[in-house]
Amino acid sequence: MTESEHDVLIIGGGVAGLTLALELADHRRITLLRPGRDEIGASSWAQGGIAAVLAPQDTLEAHVQDTLVAGDGLCDERAVRFTVENGPAAIGWLIDQGVPFTRDPSPEAPYPYHLTREGGHGTRRIIHAADATGRAVIDTLLARVAAHARVRLVTDLQIIELCADNQGCCGALGLDSEGHLQRLWARDTVLATGGASGLYRYTTSPNPACGEGMAMAAALGARLADLEFQQFHPTCFFDPDGPAFLISEAVRGEGGILRNAQGRRFMPDYDERGELAPRDIVARAIQAEMQRAHSQYVALDITHLPAETIEHHFPTIVAHCQARGIDIRREPIPVVPAAHYSCGGVVTDLDGASDIAHLYAIGEVARTGLHGANRMASNSLLECLVFARSVANALRHGQAHGPNRPLARECLATPPDEQAPPPPEGEANALLERLREVMSEHAAIVRSDAGLRTAQAQLKVLKADSDQLNDRFRPTVATRRLSHALLVASELVDSALQRRESRGLHYNRDCPSTIP
């Protein structure tokens, strides 16, 4: 096993990780671990945009109240206000970095950039870069990070566990591209590893996270919370033979209509807000319509808008759907709900600090309290930005000794055996696919007590198989990913059974009411 020393170790290079690296690099030395393949992770697939109070007619209080309503009574209001109040400055920072947001062509426009509206928002407050905002932000920030002399980018190392000494987190253990172990000692470690939508069969990202960061933090004793609130995006392009592709909520924000198998608009039957109801309501409505008609999808129709408007606002979606044989200017888009965003995760404070000293979490891996029982559209990238900048501020000022903290030389956990034989090829991935089937069948959009108990029992069997792989064979990324996924899936199911109500993203047929 090789060893190396690091000041601040950031695990994950999406919007949250890149923002933190840029904000902190002038004050601390940064090692940023991110996948070599940029399609991995959720940030680059974010289409809709970033919510913030930017227009003169909008108010911070309106954004706060919209978020609290969407969170269905479980938001931490202090976290909501902190995020919303710091939103405009975060957007200003992105503009200064050079992110090419879409401008408003109207000379009478009250704000220079085009703002759209999405579900749950009472007004237009979503700034975007056409329909590929995440990609634009990632490209801009990554170029700046790559050029920064005090940031070391590592793209060939996968972290499989965190390390701890008697003072808290002291770094991480990873596997390089050859499967060899590397110990990374660090003064401060930040998780920016994404959520847990990869626990389900259908997702809005081709390579979703499976809760790896959550599981690694929990293994050190960090609290996880709100895992039962897994968001399913209502509109993922339906193509069982092709890769996942999200159809942005902005399509509905600009007037897209959902139609059932008979071609009838159905959302007003479920909610007076129609297609702009919060995502949990829209996803359940779509599933109900699919079950009623025994159909595999519903249709998202935007053909009533001028073709030039569609092409201007949604060039990425137009091109992608055309490649799949659908011209959205002339025909509806087949869509289905898919696992999208984890509202729960590692419990943190407003500085992004977890329960474990020197361990921070930002982005989707963290449970900040912003989302409550349901994330409101486009608040996620805002949360990444605001909390990354907050962690940077905390680490700049050397809280808990920061850059002067001596590097640890001992880890409490015994490292895995590198000399053990390799596991059977494909076995861990097959077990992970079985886990996804269990979760999709029993712990998805609509749940029941019996289904959740079935999931508990089946996950226990899968865990026994996973434990055998870890006990008998050398560690691999696949076997550890399976272990992490099982831990988070089990916690999610347990949390869902313990919540004796239906609220936000958690809907249980056996307790359909909300506890006041």
Residue 419 lies in a domain: no
pLDDT band at 410 (very low <50, low <70, confident <90, very high): confident
Q: What's the pLDDT score for residue 56?
A: 95
Q: Which two tokens stand for residue 417?
A: 């055996």
**Each residue's pLDDT tens digit, 84-113:** 999 999 999 999 999 999 999 888 888 999
Order of strands across the sheet with 126-127? 50-51, 126-127, 115-116
Question: Does one domain contain both 177 and 262?
Answer: no
pLDDT band at 38 (very low <50, low <70, confident <90, very high): low
Question: Does one domain contain both 354 and 207?
Answer: yes
Q: Which two tokens stand for residue 152?
A: 């070391």
Q: Is the pLDDT of residue 457 over 90?
A: yes
Between CA 359 and CA 217 the distance in angstroms is: 8
Question: Does one domain contain both 403 and 261?
Answer: no
Q: What's the pLDDT score for residue 279?
A: 80
Question: Does one domain contain both 293 and 405?
Answer: no
| pLDDT, mean over the chain | 93
Options 34, 117, 135, 279, the catalytic residue = 279
Looking at the whole model, is its pTM more than 0.85? yes
245 or 103, higher pLDDT: 103
Q: What's the pLDDT score for residue 278?
A: 80
Nearest Cα neighbor of 350 from 307, 309, 312, 393 is 393
Give the count of domains, the chain.
3
For residues 474-502, give the mean pLDDT: 97
pLDDT band at 11 (very low <50, low <70, confident <90, very high): very high
H helices within 25-132, ranges in order? Answer: 60-70, 77-85, 87-97
466 or 35, higher pLDDT: 466
Residue 449 domain boundaries: 427-498
Q: Is the pLDDT of residue 400 over 50?
A: no
CATH of the domain at 494: 1.20.58.100
Residue 82 lies in a domain: no
Residue 504 lies in a domain: no
Three-class secondary structure of residue 197 per DSSP: helix
Between CA 57 and CA 59 the distance in angstroms is: 7
Q: Is 279 a catalytic residue?
A: yes
Strand partners, 338: 233
Question: Does one domain contain both 32 and 116?
Answer: yes
